[in-house]
Structure 1
Amino acid sequence: MAQNCLGKIRSNYARLSEKEKKVADYILENPERMIHNTINEVAEDLNVADATVFRFCKRIGFKGYQAMKIALASEIMKPIQQIYEEIGENDTEKTVADKIFQSNIRTLENTLHILDEASIKKAVSLLMQANRVEFYGTGGSNAVAIDAFHKFVRTGIKAFAFIDSHFQLMSASQLCAQDVAVVISHSGTNKDTLNIIKMAKKNGAKTIGITGFPKSPICQYSDVALFTSSEETEYRSEALSSRIAQLSLIDALYVNIMVLNKEKAKHSLEKVREAISDTRM
């Protein structure tokens, strides 16, 4: 779960260098501003090197800037609990719907705040260069993987997804250095999913991980990690809430590919439409 970022900063403050203290003060004075900024923007605001900001993140116990920003976002968002999350027995059907929609909106907003520009750019680049892209996920994440296939089959890139975890593992065993595996797991600890990404990595394939936890095992095997931010509520688990953010990340990757690969994508999309149209005749 999210670590106490602000507490870590305060407890380590005395041991920080002068430049690192500038970063600490920047966060403590306005944490909301921090979660909206890239590492370059923070460094520029403080007139320090990017490396100073990165070193500060490591000093207080995080893997890097992105991991710290995710923890900070979770920490400062949680106290601001909105009344719409509290589903009451006397709520009308419309009120319940309103609260669920608002909760989903906040999940998307939180995920957008922690979305790293460099990571999404690298993920798009890997997908653009791939000979074959496979989407993997088990349980609830499998629905996201199938949705990703449904989208990416229109891009002109060879895209695949399997429902059965054994088929997924067999398919991952056939990947090579020209291929990309997109592995989706909210916890990042699912045994089947880890076996799949390890197999893909072993065969030299590039890997993109989508998860809610920056320190989860799946990140160790990901060339690029994209993170979601969601909260558990009384009637919905954190994993269930995160699914809408996972779907949105997939959608963002898909649209980027369609824009950058316009002609090939247009031709592929026309073929898909023709195939669907023929089956209706």
Structure 2
Amino acid sequence: MASGGLKMVQKMLDKLPASEQKIAEYILEHPHEVVNSTVSQLANVSNTSGAAVIRLCKSLGLKGFQDLKIRVAGDLLKPAEQGYRDIEPSESMYQVAHKTASNAIQSLKETAELINYDELQKAIDALLKAKNVHFFGIGASSIIALDAQQKFLRINKGATAFTDVHLVATLIANADQDDVVFGISFSGETPEVINVLSLAKDRGVQTISLTKFDQTTLSSIADISLFTSYSNEAPFRSAATSSRLAQLYIIDVLFLCIAARQYEETVKHIDKTREAIHFITKKK
């Protein structure tokens, strides 16, 4: 069953207009009542309007009020989550290992709950049609870009993953209209990635973003927006641990969905690349 509705509402709460914020606060305080309400009933109890309820659903990236209710209902059926746990001074290896696993699992679960399947379908279609895919990220996100490039090259899809901004700008300046520029930034506010996607938009090249779930500059620029969970990793946020795994998960989902759509062709390409790698690495 779909879930993640309450997390979406909580994350977006401070960024919503006043009328939508009133509805969001009511949803968080009375989730059980909301799943049995109509649009007009929710509007009445929150002293807003039906139009504001619909706008809230749009702000959350959902199809409509029914989609929101289904996700909230799914949240109510789930056991209480422990939350992200940071390491403590002089913590044992055993505790660090288990906390890391717990945080990673929670990040993946939350990301799966936040998937907008309409946007995911658009991304899959765009990547299937693309002549070349230019992945771009800075810092930890560049690792995700390189992983994506490696996967797509193995199935005979043209892909790049450069970190040099000047080189990426050159690529986009000469990009084909059938290319796709894929910007990766957990915060969604990395200036270089924003500028790269803006340049692509200016050149008429289709764009995809991968950010945390939020109203970010990068996701607002992109033609297609994909999201990961917004894991809290302070004070070791710079390590980008759980968020990196969530980004890799979305790349894997895209890759495997594409593989499923062109299964026989994908198997042939994987076999050919495996044989080629074995040929150049075998001992004489």
After TM superposition, the score normalised by the length of structure 1 is 0.76
* Paired residue secondary structure (2:53): helix
The equivalences for 1:38-53 within 5 A come to: 46=38
Determine the C-alpha separation between the residues in 1 that align with 2:218 and 2:12.
18
Partner residue in 1 for 2:208:
208
Name the structure 1 match of 2:194: 194
CA distance in 2, matches of 1:53, 1:160: 46
**Matched residue, 2:104:** 104
Which of 242-251 and 270-279 deviates more? Answer: 270-279
Q: Which residue of 1 aligns with 2:22?
A: 12
**Structure 2 CA distance for partners of 1:100 and 1:204, relative to 1, 3 Å:** same
Matched, 1:2 2:11: yes
Deviation at residue 255 of structure 1 after TM alignment: 0.4
The one-letter code matched in structure 2 to 1:29 is H
C-alpha separation between the residues in 2 aligned to 1:174 and 1:54?
Answer: 44
User: What is the match of residue 117 of structure 2?
Assistant: 117
Partner of 1:29: 30
Matched residue type, 2:281: R
Residue number in structure 1 paired with 2:55: 58
What letter is aligned with 1:244?
Answer: L
Distance in structure 2 (CA, Å) of the matches to 1:178 and 1:275: 28
SS in 2 for 1:2: helix
1:141–1:185 CA contact under 8 A, matched in 2: yes
Greater mean deviation of Cα atoms: 269-278 or 252-261: 269-278
Matched, 1:274 2:283: no
Report the CA distance shift for 1:45/1:124 in structure 2 as closer, same or farther (over 3 A): farther
Q: Which residue of 2 aligns with 1:143?
A: 143
Contact 1:133 1:181 in 2 (8 A): yes
User: What is the deviation of 1:88?
Assistant: 2.8
2:20 and 2:56 in contact (8 A); partners too: no
Q: Which amino acid is 1:4 matched to?
A: L
The one-letter code sitting in structure 2 at the alignment partner of 1:56 is V
Q: Tell me the distance in 2 between the aligned counterparts of 1:56 and 1:30.
A: 15
Shift of the alpha carbon at 1:9? 6.9
- Give secondary structure in 2 for the equivalent of 1:175: coil
| 1:77-112 C-alpha deviation (Å, 9 max, x unpaired) | xxx773771423353101111001101111111111
Structure 1 unmatched ranges of 5 or more? 14-22, 35-41
Tell whether 2:180 aligns with 1:180.
yes
Separation in 1, partners of 2:53, 2:153: 42
Q: TM-score, normalised by structure 2?
A: 0.75
| SS of 1:153 mapped into structure 2 | helix
Identity %: 26
CA contact (8 A) 1:175 1:204 kept: no
Indicate the residue corresponding to 2:257 in structure 1. Answer: 256
- Residues 53 and 65 in structure 1, CA contact (< 8 A), matched pair in contact too: no
Residue 171 of structure 1 deviates from its aligned partner by 1.3
1:209–1:219 CA contact under 8 A, matched in 2 = yes
Distance 1:246 1:191 in 2: 19
Can you give the 5+ residue segments of structure 2 that lack an aligned partner in the other structure?
A: 1-9, 41-48
Question: What is the rounded CA distance, in whole Å, between the counterparts of 1:10 and 1:202 in structure 2?
Answer: 33
- How far has the Cα of 1:277 moved from its partner? 1.3
Instruction: Verify: 1:93 aligned to 2:93, yes or no.
Output: yes
Aligned length: 252
Counterpart contact for 2:201–2:207, Cα < 8 Å: yes
Q: CA deviation at 1:67?
A: 11
Change (3 A) 1:156 1:189: same
